[in-house]
Copies of this chain bind each other. A is one copy, B any other.
Amino acid sequence: MAQYGSNIVLSNKEFNVVGTRPIRHDGTDKVTGKAKFGADYTPPLTLHGAVLRSPHPHAEIISIDTAQAESLEGVLAVITSEDFPKSSDEQSEGASRLINVRDNVLADKKVLYQGHPIGAVAAINQHIAEEAVKLIQVKYRVLKPVFTAPEGALPEAPLLHPNLKTQTFAGESTKPSNIAKHFRTTLGDIEQGFKEADFIVEREFTTKTVHQGYIEPHAAVAFWNRDGKIDVWCSTQGTFVVRDRLSDMLKVPVSQITVTPLEIGGGFGGKIPVYLEPLACLLSKKTGSPVKLTMTRKAVFESTGPTPGSYIKLKVGATKSGKIIAAKAYMAYEAGAFPGSPIDSAIQCISSCYAIPNLDVEGIDVVVNKPKTAAYRAPGATNPAFAMETIVNELADKIGIDELDFRLLNASHEGTFRADGPPHKSIGVKELIEAMKNHDHWKSPIQGPYVGRGVAIGLWFNIGLPSSCSISVRKDGTVALVEGNPDIGGTRVSISMQAAEVLGIRAEDVQPTVVNTDLIGFTGLTAGSRTTFATGWAAYEAAQDVKQQMIDRAAIVMETESKNIDMQNGVFKDTKNPDVSMTFKELASQLDSTGGPIMGQSTVNPKGVGASASGCMVDLAVDPETGKITILRFTGFQDAGKAVHPSYVEGQIQGGSVQGIGWSINEEYFYGPQGDLTNSTFLDYRMPTALDLPMIDTVIVEVPNPGHPYGVRGVGEASIIPPPAAIANAIHQAIGLRMNQLPMNPTAILEGLWNSQDSLPNN
C-alpha cells in the first residue's frame, strides 16, 4: 500500500512559537507509561464496584431485590435509583433534564435500552462485586422496543416516556410522543426556489448508530468523606461539568466536590456525560471508603452514548449555470433512550458550506431504545454532509460542471445567511476548496479498474465557553502554567505555546499542568474544538498580565518608567536608552529584589469563535466480487485559522478522517432480533486500524480567525464530516453506484450492485 504522508501548511502569518512543532510536554509520560489514565488510580483501601445492566431494551421494572447481593460476604453496599436524593418538586424543565441524566445513570421504574444500569455494588474486590451483581433480583415486564427514529416517530410506536411532549419553536405539544423535539427553519421562498431550478435531486439517506471508539473505557474513583466533601478522580472531557452534574444529581453544593482529571485515552465527545461517577459517589457514601468503577468494553458499547443513527430526506435544486438555488431537508435523529440528539447541529450544518437562498430544514429528535446518544466529533454534522455532499456531486454531474468548481461557485463566505442563526462570520470554505483544487492529489490521474475518486467538504462551527489560566514566573526564566482542560489531543502544548509567544520564551519554557476543579477558575469542556481556542486565549491573556508585570519590574531594574519599556521577543529595552536591555530570563532571576514573585491570571468567555472548514479527497478501489473497498489515497484539508502546533492539527485531520472512513465503510451498532447488540467488542465492531489505510496526507489551510489573538479556529472535529460523502462519491465514480446508506460495507455495495447491475461501468 502506498505511503504518502505529505503534510502541507498553507501559512498566513509567522510567529516565533505559534506555528512551530515543539515536543509536547506530556510526551515522555505518555510513551513511558508514567501517565496515569482513568483506571490507573486506586487510593489505599479502595472498594471495587460492578454495575447491573439491563438485558432488555425496553421493560418496566416491577421490583428490585438486593437482599441476596447484600448478604454476600465481602459486599459492603448495593445501590439502586432509590439511593439518589429525590425531591418532590422536580417538575421544572431543568429538573426534567436532571431526571433524565439521573435515570440514565440508574434506571428508575423502566429500563430503556439493553445495558441500562439498574444497580451497583461495592465489594472488597472486583470478583465479589461481579458475583454480587448477579444476585440482584429484578422482575421486569418486557415491553416492545423501537430502534430507529422514523419508527419511533410513528403514532403507533411504543412510548418510552409516558410524559414526554414534543418541543417545537412554537412551544410544547400536548400529546405524549417519542418525538422530543421538532424544529423547522426556513430562508427565502422554498417553492419559488425549486421552480427556478433546472436540476433537482431528491434522495433519502440512512445512517447507523456508531460509537466514538475511544481506546480507554470509562473509569471513576470517588471518596465521599465524613465531612461531606467528595473527591472524584476520573477520565473526563470536563472536570467542571462532572462536578456540576454530580452537584445536581447528589444535591450537594459544587464547593463540596473536587474532580481531579486523570489522563484521558480518547473522548471525541463521548467522555462528556457522567456514567460511573455518580454511582461511585453513592457507593462511597454508603461505605465510607473510596470506591472504584471501571467499564468493560461491552459496557462502553451498550451503555455509553454513541452518535445517532438517522434518516435524512434531502432535495436540492440548482440552475444550469451552476447555482444551488433551493434545498429542503427532513432529518429524523435517534436521541437514544432520553431526549437530546444533535439535531440542532444537523439543522445548523446541513447547508452551511453553501450560499443557498431558499431553504427549508426540518428535524426531529426521537427517543428510541438505544443508549442515550452523546457528542461525537462535530456531533450531528456528518450525517447531513453525507446527504448534501453526495447530492451536490450528483447535481454537478447533471449540470456537467467540475465538482470542485461547482462547490466553489456556491461556497458560503462571511455574511452568507444560514438556515439557522446569524450570518457566517469569517470562514475559509473558498480557500479550502481552492487548496483542494491546487493539490497534487487532485491533479494526479486515477489508475486501475473499479477505482474512483471522490471529494466532499464540511463546516463545523466550534464553540467558545469560559476558560481560566494562571501563570507563575520562575527564577530560571521559565513559567509554570495552570489550566483546567483535560489534554486529549496535545492542548498542553498548544496552550503553552500561546503563552510563550507573548512572553518571548520557548514553548519548552512554559510548563503546563492540568489541575482539578479546586485549583483554577471555571473552565469549560475539552470539546467543541474549543480548548486551543479558548483556553489558549486565556493563556494569552494571563501571559499579557505577566508581561505587564515584568515590564514594571524591568522599569525598576533599568531605573525608568514602565511606559518607556519596550518588550519584543522576550527582550526588555529602555526606549529612552536603547543600549540598556535584558532578557526575560535575566529579569526573572531578579524578581525577589524587585518586589517578589510574579503571577498572572486570566479568565475569558470568548465570543469570537471561528468555524472550521474541512474537505477530503479519496481514491479507492471497489472489489466488485466481494464489495470490499480499499482506500488507495486520502488527503484531508482543513482550515485551522492558525495552526498553533501543525503536527497536532495534522493529527486531528488524520484522526478525524480515519473515524470518518470507519463510519463510512464498516462501523455500525448491529442489533439482533430482540434488540440485543451483537457486536459489542472491538473484534466485531470493526474500526479501521493503521493496517487498513494508507497514510493520510494533510493540508492545513490558514484563514485566520479575526476573533482570536492568533487567528485560531479550533481543529478537533471538522475532518470527520466529509469522508462518508467523499467515499460515496468515489464509489460512484468507481462503479457507478450512488450510495445512500452508511455503512457502505460489502453487503451494501453488493446489494446495490445486484439491484442495478447495469450501473457497473466498463473498467
Do the beta carbons of B599 and A520 come within 8 Å of each other? Answer: yes
Partner of A522, one of B253, B467, B474, B520: B474
Q: Which 9 A-B pairs have the closest CB atoms?
A: A596-B605, A28-B227, A255-B478, A522-B597, A521-B599, A466-B596, A472-B521, A521-B597, A597-B603
Do the beta carbons of B28 and A225 come within 8 Å of each other? Answer: yes
Partner of A476, one of B254, B473, B511: B254
* A680 interface contact, C-beta 8 A: no
Q: Which residues of A contact B (CB under 8 A)?
A: 27-29, 32, 34, 40, 44, 223, 225-227, 229, 244, 247, 253-255, 466-468, 470, 472-476, 478, 480, 482, 509, 511, 513, 515, 517-523, 591-592, 595-605
Residue among A226, A520, A603, A605 with the most chain B CB within 10 A? A603
Partner of A225, one of B29, B470, B591: B29
Do the beta carbons of B476 and A253 come within 8 Å of each other? Answer: yes
Do the beta carbons of A472 and B476 come within 8 Å of each other? Answer: no
For A517, the chain B residues whose CB sits under 8 A away are 480
For A482, the chain B residues whose CB sits under 8 A away are 518-519
Partner of A596, one of B27, B470, B604: B604
Q: How far is the CA of A40 from the CA of B44 in the complex (A)?
A: 9
Do the beta carbons of B522 and A518 come within 8 Å of each other? Answer: no
Do the beta carbons of A34 and B225 come within 8 Å of each other? Answer: yes
Q: How far is the CA of A479 from the CA of B29 in the complex (A)?
A: 32
Partner of A468, one of B466, B478, B515, B597: B597
For A473, the chain B residues whose CB sits under 8 A away are 521
Q: How far is the CA of A604 from the CA of B515 in the complex (A)?
A: 24
For A600, the chain B residues whose CB sits under 8 A away are 601
Shortest CB–CB separation between residue A281 and chain B, in angstroms? Answer: 16
Do the beta carbons of B597 and A466 come within 8 Å of each other? Answer: yes
Do the beta carbons of B599 and A601 come within 8 Å of each other? Answer: yes
Residue among A44, A467, A473, A474 with the most chain B CB within 10 A? A474
Shortest CB–CB separation between residue A87 and chain B, in angstroms? Answer: 17
Q: How far is the CA of A27 from the CA of B229 in the complex (A)?
A: 12
Do the beta carbons of B592 and A599 come within 8 Å of each other? Answer: no
Beyond A34-B225, A225-B34, A597-B605, whether A255 also contacts B474 by CB under 8 A is yes
Shortest CB–CB separation between residue A682 and chain B, in angstroms? Answer: 26
Do the beta carbons of A468 and B472 come within 8 Å of each other? Answer: yes
Do the beta carbons of A513 and B519 come within 8 Å of each other? Answer: yes
For A255, the chain B residues whose CB sits under 8 A away are 474, 476, 478, 480, 509, 511
Do the beta carbons of B598 and A603 come within 8 Å of each other? Answer: yes
Q: How far is the CA of A592 from the CA of B464 in the complex (A)?
A: 12
Shortest CB–CB separation between residue A559 and chain B, in angstroms? Answer: 19
Q: How far is the CA of A515 from the CA of B226 in the complex (A)?
A: 22
Residue in chain B with minimal CB distance to A253:
B476
Q: How far is the CA of A603 from the CA of B34 in the complex (A)?
A: 33
Do the beta carbons of B227 and A480 come within 8 Å of each other? Answer: no
Q: How far is the CA of A164 from the CA of B177 in the complex (A)?
A: 91
Q: How far is the CA of A599 from the CA of B522 in the complex (A)?
A: 9
Q: How far is the CA of A519 from the CA of B40 in the complex (A)?
A: 23
Partner of A519, one of B44, B227, B480, B523: B480
Residue in chain B with minimal CB distance to A603:
B597
Shortest CB–CB separation between residue A509 and chain B, in angstroms? Answer: 7
Residue among A27, A29, A244, A475 with the most chain B CB within 10 A? A475
Do the beta carbons of B253 and A478 come within 8 Å of each other? Answer: yes
Q: How far is the CA of A472 from the CA of B601 in the complex (A)?
A: 11
Sample of 22 A–B contacts (CB below 8 Å): A27-B227, A28-B225, A28-B226, A34-B223, A34-B225, A253-B476, A254-B475, A254-B476, A255-B511, A466-B592, A467-B597, A468-B597, A470-B601, A472-B520, A480-B517, A480-B519, A513-B518, A521-B597, A521-B599, A597-B603, A598-B603, A601-B601
Q: How far is the CA of A522 from the CA of B472 in the complex (A)?
A: 8
Do the beta carbons of B254 and A521 come within 8 Å of each other? Answer: no
For A598, the chain B residues whose CB sits under 8 A away are 521, 603
Q: How far is the CA of A44 from the CA of B473 in the complex (A)?
A: 32
For A254, the chain B residues whose CB sits under 8 A away are 474-476, 478
Beyond A229-B28, A466-B592, A474-B255, whether A480 also contacts B518 by CB under 8 A is yes
For A229, the chain B residues whose CB sits under 8 A away are 28
Q: How far is the CA of A255 from the CA of B585 in the complex (A)?
A: 12
Residue in chain B with minimal CB distance to A247:
B476
Q: How far is the CA of A199 from the CA of B476 in the complex (A)?
A: 58
Beyond A255-B509, A476-B255, whether A468 also contacts B225 by CB under 8 A is no
For A511, the chain B residues whose CB sits under 8 A away are 255, 518
For A605, the chain B residues whose CB sits under 8 A away are 592, 595-597
Given contacts A29-B227, A255-B478, A596-B604, 10 further A-B contacts (CB under 8 A): A29-B225, A34-B223, A247-B476, A253-B478, A466-B592, A466-B596, A470-B599, A480-B518, A592-B605, A599-B603
Q: How far is the CA of A476 from the CA of B227 in the complex (A)?
A: 18
Q: How far is the CA of A173 from the CA of B88 in the complex (A)?
A: 84
For A522, the chain B residues whose CB sits under 8 A away are 472, 474-475, 591, 596-597
Do the beta carbons of B521 and A468 come within 8 Å of each other? Answer: no
Residue among A223, A482, A517, A521 with the most chain B CB within 10 A? A521
For A597, the chain B residues whose CB sits under 8 A away are 466-468, 521-523, 603, 605
Residue in chain B with minimal CB distance to A508:
B255
For A27, the chain B residues whose CB sits under 8 A away are 227
Q: How far is the CA of A480 from the CA of B239 in the complex (A)?
A: 15
Do the beta carbons of A519 and B521 come within 8 Å of each other? Answer: no
Shortest CB–CB separation between residue A595 and chain B, in angstroms? Answer: 6
Shortest CB–CB separation between residue A160 and chain B, in angstroms? Answer: 32
Q: How far is the CA of A196 from the CA of B481 in the complex (A)?
A: 64
Q: How far is the CA of A32 from the CA of B603 in the complex (A)?
A: 36
For A29, the chain B residues whose CB sits under 8 A away are 225, 227
Q: How far is the CA of A228 from the CA of B468 in the complex (A)?
A: 28
Residue among A229, A482, A597 with the most chain B CB within 10 A? A597
Residue in chain B with minimal CB distance to A32:
B226
Q: How far is the CA of A480 from the CA of B597 in the complex (A)?
A: 21
For A518, the chain B residues whose CB sits under 8 A away are 480, 482, 511, 513
Shortest CB–CB separation between residue A413 and chain B, in angstroms? Answer: 30
For A253, the chain B residues whose CB sits under 8 A away are 476, 478
Q: How far is the CA of A596 from the CA of B524 in the complex (A)?
A: 10
For A244, the chain B residues whose CB sits under 8 A away are 475
Q: How far is the CA of A592 from the CA of B473 in the complex (A)?
A: 29
For A32, the chain B residues whose CB sits under 8 A away are 225-226
Q: How far is the CA of A197 from the CA of B480 in the complex (A)?
A: 61
For A519, the chain B residues whose CB sits under 8 A away are 480, 482, 513, 515, 519
Shortest CB–CB separation between residue A531 and chain B, in angstroms? Answer: 15
Shortest CB–CB separation between residue A731 and chain B, in angstroms? Answer: 46
Residue in chain B with minimal CB distance to A231:
B34
Shortest CB–CB separation between residue A468 and chain B, in angstroms? Answer: 5
Shortest CB–CB separation between residue A133 and chain B, in angstroms? Answer: 28
